[in-house]
Amino acid sequence: MAIGVVIGALILLAVPLIIIVGIVADGEIEDDDEAVTAVVIGAGFLLEGFLLLAAALFSVAKYNLSWATLGLRPPRRGGFWFPLPLFFAALAVFISYVAVVTVIGWEVEGNVAEETFDSTIPIVLLGILSLGLAPFMEEVFFRGFLFGGLRGRLGVLGAALASGLLFAFAHFQDLSTLPLLPVIGIIGMLFAWAYYYTGSLFAPIVAHLFFNLVSFIFGVLGVTT
């Protein structure tokens, strides 16, 4: 019940944010590029805050659970080295997917506008969001809360698929990002398996951080998909 309420609230929050971001990105709001980018990144901050708040309210507070129940504990299997192969696996999945869809003729665009990297303030804000907040908050919510909560009802595969789909949906901005969503969902499922295997969010959080760091560095250097 609690998971259903949170998913519904996530959709209700995400839809207007997507609409606002889409309007801003299409240039329907006249403003300078830096201010427009700040609005888009600000929407990301709001969504990340909601994810962590939802996990806290509907698990830790509601059922008096510890944060360790959501996966914030040392790994039981795999060791502290496990994030490295997990990161390379996620990177291999992403590169393979982009190669396949490129052959098909789809154009894969990143979900961060190139203009974001044109000035200092947006770069700093994006760095805080993608490197400081997203790996922790998204893994706690999508893997610790959603995957962990659905696993008893849907099984490991079903819970990984459901949480992966919602993980992909949370990264949707406009129609240009649609080709990117399947691989985001697949990577989300991979991170869910890593959480299940290790019994900890340590590996998914660190691998998520590495993945975002590579994307961030490529963006700063002007390298795009």
Quick: pLDDT tens for 89-131: 999 999 999 999 999 888 877 777 777 888 888 899 999 999 9
Task: State how far the alpha carbon of 14 is from the alpha carbons of 67, 72, 75, 150, in Å.
Answer: 25, 26, 32, 21
Q: Is the model's pLDDT at 189 over the cut of 70?
A: yes
Nearest to 10 by CA among 58, 54, 67, 56: 54
**Size (the chain), residues:** 225
Helix, strand counts (H, E) of the chain:
8, 0
According to the model, what pLDDT value does residue 17 have?
Answer: 53
Contact 146, 162 (CB under 8 A): yes
- Show the CA angle centred on residue 140, arms to residues 201 and 207, nearest 5°: 45
How many structural domains does the chain have?
1
Task: Look up residue 201 and give its DSSP letter.
Answer: S
- pLDDT digits 0-9 by tens, 130-157: 999 999 999 999 999 999 999 999 999 9
Query: What secondary structure letter does DSSP report for 68?
Result: G
CA atoms of 85 and 62, how far apart (whole Å): 36
Domain encompassing residue 57: 2-221
Average pLDDT over residues 170-181: 85
Tokens 């806290």 correspond to what residue?
A: 56
Distance of CA 125 to the CA centre of its chain: 16
